[in-house]
Structure 1
Amino acid sequence: MKRALTKNWGLKLLAFVFSVLLWIIVMNIEDPVDERTFSGIQVTVTHPEIVTNPGNTYQILDDSRTVSVTVKAKRSILNKIKTDDIRATADMKNLDVRTRSLIPIDISIPSYAGRFEATANPINLRVSIELGKSETFPITATSSGTPRDGYQVGELKANPEKIKISGPESVIDSIDKVVALVDVSGQSKDEEKEAELILYDNNGKIIDSTQIENNLGDEGLKVKITMLQTKSIPVEFDTSLIGTASGYHFSGISIQPESIQIVGTEEQLETVDSIEIPAEELAEDGLDQTIEKTVDIANYLPYWAKTDQDSAGGVPIVIKIQVEKFGTKTVEFPYNSIALLNAPKDYKVSYAEQGNLEIVVRGSKEDLDDFTLEKGNVSINLNDCKTAGTYNVPIQVTLPDGIELEDTINVQITLTKSSGGENDQ
């Protein structure tokens, strides 16, 4: 038996070695070594007290706080490794004493220790070490987004109103403004909401705050929002002190705008239904023509009211005081409703005046009371306007029996070549 085992031992050893080599070859074919790169691995700094205890602080430079890691391992292992399994650490104990800015990045994968090779890119964490500094800043509350229709942001108040910020001296010295940004999209009620802390430098640029600390604690930063509502309020003028010359009469006023939007709390807005302007603001005597006046109504608003028109110039309202001869009536007709007759093709018509054309007609009181102008009653004939240029053309008005024009009316128009192929106004 012993002789059988020792017989041809050289051949048997060779067969064993061949078997091992064959097994290795088969395993490498079925489970070869491969490599894969994982991106966005966060670098953790260990033993930072080596730098911070003497009163210094540090900043991570060149966005090296995240690295790419190339892992080399058998395919069966590699397929199991996830980004979250990889640990990248930079130990302050290994800080390069010559540069005082480079720390080697070590890669570990605890679940597969000893079964891989890995390298980081970049291979070093770059840091800047400088004196630390702490300073207290006031917090300015501001908002983003659009509140619900009919509402406006009234007051914003940061909680807390001040913040203590610690970090590299150069960063702290660059802080110009500390902002608590709160989203008010769709907001319609008073509420205290969480806010985002943003630091700005003198140039209005956002400062990277990843390397600084503050004293906000677990409660974080919030902003108390006070919302106000808006309401459309009509403006009403007393016209009792408007006087006209003999042979003329006051026919009414037109107001622009006819109403204003005021802002206040729900309780405040319930107390206001109109803005009443006293007669003294429109007091006139001996009028023989229509005039316009501008009245600042800011002093007639409730003391608490704000408006969309608030400005250094107050809240102006334009009033047209309409005066007519007895037996006449003034009718306003939109320029863009004037019919164009015999307009040249491929030309655009524009008017020197904008808005409404005033047409004065005369007749009996009964006829004038019922008189109106419809679209198509007013026109201009462009038969003599064939080329680009400026023209004065008479207005043609179709009137019912018993009604006549008080005076001939001319309008100034400009013809310009149009690329649209049709006559426009």
Structure 2
Amino acid sequence: MARSSFLFTSESVSEGHPDKVADQISDAVVDLFLSKDPEARVACETLTTTNRVVLAGEVRGLGMIDTDGNWAPGAQEEIQTVVRETVKRIGYEQDGFHWQNLHFENHLHPQSAHIAQGVDASGNKDEGAGDQGIMFGYATDETPDLMPATLYYSHKILERMAADRHSGKAPFLEPDAKSQVTLAYENEIPVRATALVVSTQHAVDYCTPWESDGEKGGDAAKYAVLRGYVVGVFNEILPQGFITNETVIHVNPTGRFEIGGPDGDAGVTGRKIIVDTYGGASPHGGGAFSGKDPTKVDRSAAYITRYLAKNIVAAGLARRCTIQLSYAIGVAEPLSVYVDLHGTGTVDESVIEAVLADSAKLGFRLTPRGIRTHLGLNKPIYQRSAAYGHFGRQPDADGGFSWEKTDLVGALKAAV
């Protein structure tokens, strides 16, 4: 029997976290390739560390690199430019990590012919999945964006802090930060915050005041400004009444966080998959999103399952919904469709499973090309998704976050 009263926690990381820097660089490369060739193939991994960015992976795309492995004139320079521009936009101009001074290495190479032959359409063969795997989508009515509340507020806290850093409102903040939100649920509804945590990179002397082994801590007045600012963000982001006298609040509990970002810890693409999705409130198939073009079902099928789950909840067919799809590399149709409404459904799961298994009745197929066509994924729309979550965002006019639309509500209601 499902529990109705409990504590649950999710975390988020800022755009300046080393892993998120890597994700944003990888997706900047994806966007560059797709801007030249909507059918480009990209699998780009990024490593960030002290004043160094390294790219590796497999690529293919007109205007960038051909199947013989020859780079187009100026293509490698374009890649380096988008890498440095990404780091600059995030705000890294530090001695240990600077957009202008970092050492850059590009080890991207042509896509494997053996992968291409399984994925590409040819003759009577439809385009196959770019890899095997399982993908999950989730939605819940806890927030207006149909996301788990703990993750929703964790993201919003860091988004606000980043906006204030960029605008100059909070000049003592540096790019690297993490947040964590613990909420108490009663009757499956979030009602109050029991613990809130932010660890943020900061300017010199904004650490906690302390004395240890002769080492001087920070300035008490400056730390009070930092803590007061973060607590103010908590109060602005969380619903009124969620923060009480019993809420435990930690702001930079280690005391000092001046060295951060890739200088403080190496970053790698794809290490924040729970932050990217549902904060632990839903299962995860294990595949990362960033650095992959949309033929990779790790990305596109995760987007379509979120789209379906969100529309099911928006249609009032359930208050919570989890959907799983599975694929085999080179095979177009999914191998399985699974739906769990967590006891909140107004119809049986098997009814929805039957509808999704015959998704052509909804206007599209759950094949890689069917997903990409329905959601319009062959566009340079991915770098914006690589920080503060791929889900729970507002659809953009240019097609970004198309998987967040609720335009399937009417068709689902009619189908069930």
TM-score of the superposed pair, with normalisation by structure 1: 0.22
Q: Which structure is higher in strand share?
A: 1
TM-score of the superposed pair, with normalisation by structure 2: 0.22
